[in-house]
Structure 1
């Protein structure tokens, strides 16, 4: 009896643990938001809310693409370099108008994503190795294209995209929200979304079942590159300058953190779009609260590291098949 009782207790707690793992990020976000409001009466001011939305939008765009890649049991370390490349080419083509500059930046992001996807799908290079090579190469290409110094951007349309608001909400936040909706539809309402999950769950079984594994891999890395290029345009517009040497640096780590904290397992086989949104907001609020209360940057990084470790542990539990 002494052996059976603990097992029964664990079985009784299992549903609660599953609920906590599935919805814990939303609970943590709510608690953090409440604490932020109680600690700072001005936290809900329109100005502060706009600042938080401006800051989280690029990370969220990159995290959406990262979630798709991680859903296939992959990783994309090249997204920061794609942002740098987008920042490098936008000043060169902005004289032709914002649509042309965005088209060129997005096309280069798509090509970068296709290159990473091709190495993973056809050459069967490990995703971390393939995208690490791209990260180094694309960052170097961005420096060659634009030089090592930052260049000012004065195009009114791009500055409007990066800094203006509609109905009190930044245009960048509207763009991120549209991408969230499209990603959610892609994952949950299309055949491609089901194929993506199947490839991430068991690639060999998906191939034996006749699923287009290579096409799925190429598509997710392409989409990751496109979303990173859009994030690059947003960053350039918000900062009113193109600085490929620094823009996008380490954003791949922020994106991976948002995805994992949001509940998408690193083992693949699942994509939690709303969880990724909550994860990005949680990490942004964590950094904002600690910064606003004069917590040293070193301690802030330690707190973020603890959160990441906890999220990865929970992700491994969810990813057990």
Structure 2
């Protein structure tokens, strides 16, 4: 069975208990409007966490994904407003996200900059270039002619579109990690990059692929988030969203030491943190207190991860990320 399965069960039980407590004690928690908001927020957070999990499995981290999400989607909105078709604008935004992710992956894989510093610098670069050259305004509103407007609020066969997209993303990432060579290579690299290289695994191209997958997930999450509220506020880059994503991944059980975890871990972590954030928002918990709560949970999750996933000699020398 292993502890990972037990950790998933523990987090899932905590999520169910928290949902039950909020349902009974928090006014308006179970209203249709709030449940829909909870579903949408959880879906966005989950899609982002899926992209982060792919990178963390390979013993990395991607702090640039929120900048990629915000600028690529905001630029797509601007292009539609300028007369582009939805397909052309979304295609351009998608290619921008992939291009930025390729640069990030190149810095990590070929220049060998630690992922923490490479992605931190790239996040600042993407936001700066995007704001100065592509998206001059902080908030960009969704044009009325945007063809994917229902991605954040629509339904498909009665299922909310964000949930459907999150489910499709889960299936895609799960199949990739479990049934493809690339997925097996990700785990091998995260477990021991040097051994993976010796056995003939193309480590550098696989690292590139991890960051591209993270960028694609960020773009999809951005489409869902922006169409839900009919706008993209690029200042989300300066929010704590990236820490929420990391919190979901670590709390769910994806080991920072690499080579461990998967989609199930992301799902249970997303449910717990999504419910917690929604409940605190309804209770009008001050933003500072919310951040303190999340930081304490993240710290506890990282400390726990350190005990559950002991660092090997390579990790001790190079650092987890």
TM-score between both structures, scaled by the size of structure 2: 0.88
- Give the Cα–Cα distance (whole angstroms) in 2 for the partners of residues 18 and 189 of structure 1: 20
Q: Which moved more, 1:245-254 or 1:235-244?
A: 245-254
Alignment of 1:29-108 (within 5 A): 29-40=15-26, 42-94=28-80, 95-108=83-96
Distance 1:295 1:164, change over 3 A: same
Residue 124 of structure 1 is matched in structure 2 by: 112
Aligned length: 307
Query: Are the equivalent residues in 2 in contact too, given 1:88–1:143 (CA < 8 A)?
Result: no
Q: Which has the larger radius of gyration?
A: 1
CA separation of 1:186 and 1:16: change in aligned 2, threshold 3 A:
closer
**Do the aligned partners of residues 111 and 267 (structure 1) sit closer, same or farther apart at CA in structure 2, a change above 3 Å counting?**
same
1:267, distance to aligned residue in structure 2 (A): 0.8
The equivalent residue for 1:184 is: 174
2:140 to 151, 165, 173: 151
Q: Answer yes or no: is the 8 Å Cα contact 1:90–1:233 preserved in 2.
A: no
Whole-angstrom CA distance in 1 between matches of 2:236 and 2:161? 23
In structure 2, do the counterparts of structure 1 residues 247 and 239 end up closer, same or farther at CA, with 3 Å as the change threshold? farther
Look up the SS of the partner of 1:163 in the other structure: coil
Contact 1:84 1:248 in 2 (8 A): no
- Distance in 1 between the 2:117 and 2:238 partners? 19
Matches within 5 A, 1:200-279: 200-246=190-236, 249-279=239-269
Q: Are the counterparts in 2 of residues 57 and 172 from structure 1 also a CA contact under 8 Å?
A: yes
1:79–1:251 Cα contact (<8 Å) kept: no
Gaps of 5+ in 2: 313-321
Q: Which runs of 4+ in 1 moved over 4 A?
A: 15-20
For residue 151 of structure 1, give the secondary structure of its aligned residue in structure 2.
strand
- Contact between 1:25 and 1:263, CA under 8 Å: does it hold in 2? no
Q: Which moved more, 1:116-125 or 1:102-111?
A: 102-111
Q: Given that residues 68 and 271 in structure 1 are in contact (C-alpha distance below 8 angstroms), is that contact kept between their aligned partners in structure 2?
A: no
- Summarize the alignment of residues 291-302 of structure 1 with structure 2, pairs less than 5 Å apart: 291-302=281-292
Equivalent residue, structure 1, for 2:270: 280
Runs of 5+ unmatched residues, structure 1: 1-14
The answer to which of 153-162 and 109-118 deviates more is: 153-162
Q: Distance in 1 between matches of 2:71 and 2:5?
A: 41
Given that residues 80 and 250 in structure 1 are in contact (C-alpha distance below 8 angstroms), is that contact kept between their aligned partners in structure 2?
A: no
Q: Which moved more, 1:17-26 or 1:248-257?
A: 17-26
* 8 A Cα contact 1:81 1:249, kept in partner: no
Q: Aligned pair in 2 of structure 1 residues 278, 248: CA closer, same or farther (>3 Å)? A: farther
- Distance in 1 (CA, whole Å) between partners of 2:174 and 2:41 is 22
Q: Is the 8 A contact 1:117 1:221 kept in 2?
A: yes
- Cα distance change, pair 227–248 in 1 and its aligned pair in 2 (3 A): farther
CA shift, 1:269, in A, is 0.9
Distance 1:21 1:164, change over 3 A: closer
Query: Are the equivalent residues in 2 in contact too, given 1:84–1:142 (CA < 8 A)?
Result: no
Deviation at 1:166?
A: 2.9
- Report the 3-state secondary structure (helix = DSSP H, G, I; strand = E; otherwise coil) of the residue aligned with 2:294: helix
| 1:72 and 1:201 in contact (8 A); partners too | yes
User: Is the 2:59–2:256 contact (alpha carbons within 8 Å) kept by the matching residues of 1?
Assistant: yes
Distance 1:225 1:274 in 2: 21
More off after superposition, 212-221 vs 235-244: 235-244
TM-score, normalised on structure 1? 0.88
